Amino acid sequence: MITLSNVSKTYSTGAVAMDDISLSIDKGEFVFIVGPSGAGKSTLMKMLLLEESPDKGDLIVNGHDLRELPKKKIPYLRRSMGVIFQDYRLLPDKTVYENVAFAMRIVEASRREMKQNIEKVLGLVGLKHKAKSFPAQLSGGEQQRVAIARAIVNNPVIVIADEPTGNLDPENSWEIMNIFEEINKSGTTIVMATHDKTIVDRMRRRVIALEKGKIIRDEAKGGYGDED
Amino acid sequence: MKIRTSLYLMKEAFVSLKRNALMSFASISTVAVSLLVLGAFGILGLNMGYMVSALESKVEVTAYMQDSVEGDALTQAEADIRAVSGVSEVTFVTKTEALSRFRERLGDQASMLEALDDQNPLPNAFEIKVDNPELVKPTAQAIEQMAGVETVKYGSEIVDQLFQMTKILRILGLVLLGFLVFATLFIISNTIRLTVFARRKEIGIMKYVGATNAFIRLPFLMEGMILGSVGGGVAAVALYYAYSALLYEVHQVLAFLYLVPLHPFIYIIGGALVGIGMLIGAIGSAISLSRYMDV
């Protein structure tokens, strides 16, 4: 699903963000990316979102070699991915329903398909009754659930989440994690960057730990870190 | 792209225009003022052209003969002139007739002619009408070459002066057009830059859910086109009223001026302004998008 081979990335400031990283994530995996700030987590996430390209090495996402993919094709590859951010990134002047519909308008889904899928994903995140609410009327946890609904409404094969629980209290965080588990169960690959030690320790999923641009640990059923 | 998608994007463009109402108003006003000036110049220039051709069609060529040409030679000359292509009518005006006409025209001041002491300084002349106004000049030149012809006049001074003015007007108009287009492009691209900024979050989300560049750009392009064409429309309406008022006034006071009639002239001008506005709007937002939107 996702393969990085000997990927390096140095920013023009001279900061080394990724130093000869190789990793492979299979279909249906649930992977946590952990590590301190500046370890290269966000660069890795940006690379998976096709925002940054490697200086050296190969990046293959969903069967497409990024080196050979024309820039124009990138939007189409992104449609096979769902993205979730720490700050939700909802459109404040659109309702919950419209925020989710937004993702489907872009792929020019039919009206019927749109209604069906949106109802399904809003049901999955438990927000059917809030379809007509605006983001400002929702709690942080609810807003993040809308963002998840939007990320999965087009049936992506990979979901990429960057600190999805970073702004949430433990209770809401668990609710979000349950939804991710649910999504993962249907075969969707999930890659999540997080700082949340409790979640990583309790979930017992694959953990890839980065430090100074290198992979220092890659465990199938790992915890957040042994250092503490 | 599906029609439904286009409609959705169109709606988004209008929503954005409303959201930045003040800026939209400012750019529509700028476009309107620029295109108003442009349209006024256009109308002025086209009217000058119209006047030139109207005057030309009224122009008569007069050939003044040398005094030495008399009798049969005059008859021969008349026949020769008739033979020139484009000549439709030739009237012979004798020295005597010319003098009496002159006397008539002088009216009260005819006594001035007494100073001539019965001499007649006026030449014999042929008044020539030409089929086609465009032929006035070549016909006049051809006749001037003939033997016995002293000079040929055809009111060329007025026509030439009008031509000259039209030329100056055209150059002035082009320079002004350059400035106005520049100003309009600037304000529209600036407005679009602000909307791009206001909607950067939305653009980011669109990018992540896999929107193509065209999809992201279209609403902004439409926005620019709406700004431009509405500005053009305002200018067109203003010019319609201004020009019909002008025609009315001119008709009252200076009925002899030949102005282009209101219909369909003003609709063509109006349509052109809306079209130019739309084009400028599209270019303006395209400039802004290529500079400020990294997708």
Choice between A46 and B177, residue whose per-residue pLDDT is larger: A46
The token pair at A186 is 């249907």
Interface probe, candidates B199, B205, B215, B295, chain A, greatest A C-beta count within 10 A: B205
User: B81 and B67 in one domain?
Assistant: yes
Q: Quote the domain boundaries for residue B134.
A: 60-154
User: B275 and B166 in one domain?
Assistant: yes
The answer on pLDDT for B257 being more than 80 is no
Interface membership of A77 toward B (CB under 8 Å): yes
Indicate the residue among B129, B154, B179 that finishes a domain: B154
Q: What is the pLDDT of residue B121?
A: 83
B30 CA to chain A: closest CA distance, Å? 29
> Domain total for chain B?
2
Chain segment B209-218, per-residue pLDDT in tens: 888 888 888 8
Average pLDDT over residues B106-119: 76
pLDDT band at B156 (very low <50, low <70, confident <90, very high): low
Chain segment B184-205, per-residue pLDDT in tens: 888 888 888 887 887 788 888 8
User: B253 and B173 in one domain?
Assistant: yes
What DSSP state is assigned to residue B257?
Answer: S
The token pair at A205 is 């999923």
B208 CA to chain A: closest CA distance, Å? 7
Rounded Cα distance between B241 and B236, Å, is 9
How buried is residue A180: exposed, middle or buried, by Cβ count under 10 Å (0-12/13-18/19+)? buried
Query: What is A1-80+156-222's CATH number?
Result: 3.40.50.300
User: B174 and B131 in one domain?
Assistant: no
Interface membership of B205 toward A (CB under 8 Å): yes
Which chain B residues are closer than 8 Å to A72 by Cβ?
212-213
Question: Quick one: which of B23, B287, B30, B16 has its CA closest to B183?
Answer: B30
Average pLDDT over residues B142-164: 78
The answer on pLDDT for B290 being more than 50 is yes
Choice between A203 and B20, residue whose per-residue pLDDT is larger: A203
% of chain B surpassing 70 pLDDT: 94
Which chain A residues are closer than 8 Å to B200 by Cβ?
none
Which chain B residues are closer than 8 Å to A161 by Cβ?
none
Q: Which residue of A has its CA nearest to B205?
A: A89
User: B188 and B49 in one domain?
Assistant: yes
Count the Cβ atoms, other than its own, within 10 Å of residue A69: 17
Which chain B residues are closer than 8 Å to A89 by Cβ?
201, 204-205
The answer on pLDDT for B285 being more than 60 is yes
Which chain A residues are closer than 8 Å to B1 by Cβ?
108
User: B119 and B104 in one domain?
Assistant: yes
Count Cβ–Cβ pairs < 8 Å, chain A vs chain B: 47
The residues in B 7-26 lying below 8 A from A, measured between CB atoms, are 8
Helix, strand, coil % (nearest 5) of chain A? Answer: 35, 25, 40
Task: Specify whether the CB–CB gap between B236 and B269 falls below 8 A.
Answer: yes
Cross-chain residue pair B205–A108, CB shorter than 8 Å: no
Average pLDDT over residues B87-95: 85
Average pLDDT over residues A33-39: 88
Cross-chain residue pair A89–B4, CB shorter than 8 Å: no
Rounded Cα distance between B221 and B284, Å, is 9
Q: What is the pLDDT of residue A228?
A: 47
User: B183 and B279 in one domain?
Assistant: yes
Q: What is the pLDDT of residue B113?
A: 77
What DSSP state is assigned to residue A157?
Answer: S
Rounded Cα distance between B187 and A173, Å, is 47
B9 CA to chain A: closest CA distance, Å? 10
CA B183 → CA A114, A131, B125, B234, B273, distances in Å? 44, 45, 57, 17, 16
Interface membership of B213 toward A (CB under 8 Å): yes
User: B44 and B177 in one domain?
Assistant: yes
Q: What is the pLDDT of residue A152?
A: 94
Rounded Cα distance between A53 and A32, Å, is 21
Of B205, B212, B213, the CB nearest to A89: B205
User: B141 and B13 in one domain?
Assistant: no
What value of ipTM does the predicted structure carry? 0.80
User: B200 and B227 in one domain?
Assistant: yes
Mean per-residue pLDDT of chain B: 82
pLDDT band at B272 (very low <50, low <70, confident <90, very high): very high
pLDDT band at A132 (very low <50, low <70, confident <90, very high): very high
| Strand A56-61 to B149-153 pairing | unpaired
User: B49 and B75 in one domain?
Assistant: no
Average pLDDT over residues A190-201: 92
Rounded Cα distance between B32 and B237, Å, is 10
Residues of chain A with CATH 3.40.50.300: 1-80+156-222
A182-186, A221-225, B226-230: segment of lowest average pLDDT:
A221-225
**Residue B226 Cα to chain centre, angstroms:** 27
User: B274 and B146 in one domain?
Assistant: no
Cross-chain residue pair A89–B204, CB shorter than 8 Å: yes
Q: Which residue of A has its CA nearest to B8?
A: A105
Of B8, B207, B210, the CB nearest to A107: B210
Average pLDDT over residues B137-165: 78
Indicate the residue among B154, B186, B201 that finishes a domain: B154
Chain segment B31-85, per-residue pLDDT in tens: 898 889 888 888 887 887 787 777 766 667 888 888 888 888 888 888 888 888 7
The token pair at B288 is 């802004």
Which chain A residues are closer than 8 Å to B215 by Cβ?
106
Q: What is the pLDDT of residue B251?
A: 79
Indicate the residue among B105, B131, B154 that finishes a domain: B154
Cross-chain residue pair A106–B1, CB shorter than 8 Å: no
% of chain B surpassing 90 pLDDT: 9
